[in-house]
Amino acid sequence: MQLVFATNNPNKLKEVQALVPNHIKLLSLEDILCIEDVPETQTTIEGNAIQKAEYIKTNYGYDCFADDTGLEVEVLNGEPGVYSARYAGSQRNAEDNMNKLLSELKHKDNRNAQFKTVIALHLDGKLQTFTGICKGEITKEKQGEKGFGYDPIFKADGYEKTFAEISLDEKNKIGHRGKAVTQLVNFLNNLSTS
């Protein structure tokens, strides 16, 4: 089976490739010569994932899946949420985004947050979605060099280290994207055995 993963983010591609079994060949947007920005203009994480998957299916004809992820902070009414990548502006800079969030939470005791990933799969003319959530909290300062995005300031429940301090394997086991991809893989494996 061959599927396009509709992302230009090499870090996401690496995370997902580590979870997908060998019988599923993953193609990137680069592999299908999609060089334009795939639109993400919806107001929800689910909406963006679906929009991206439908865009690739409609314009390139491939079966595919797309994800969208947001960091939802309780005391900020779920912000940055769908705007996580451009929270501090259209430059989409992770350092700027983290600095803005740490500044917003400076005098807040409640630091509860969750990462949410929604994957939309467009396969054989049908659309399926899978959701992974990882609950945790925002740290008071950046810790760790691994990962990407908000990883240096997010600590999952039950963990002393941030996502930027743990291995990719560990992050995939407990993380939002890993949970959503596991559901996707289980779904695809069930198709191939039925």
Show which residues are catalytic.
68
Q: Where are the alpha helices (DSSP H) in the chain?
A: 10-17, 45-60, 94-104, 168-174, 176-193
The tokens describing 150, both together, are 């908000």
DSSP-assigned letters across all residues of 79-131: -EETTGGGTT-TT--HHHHHHHHHHHTTT-S--EEEEEEEEEEEETTEEEEEE
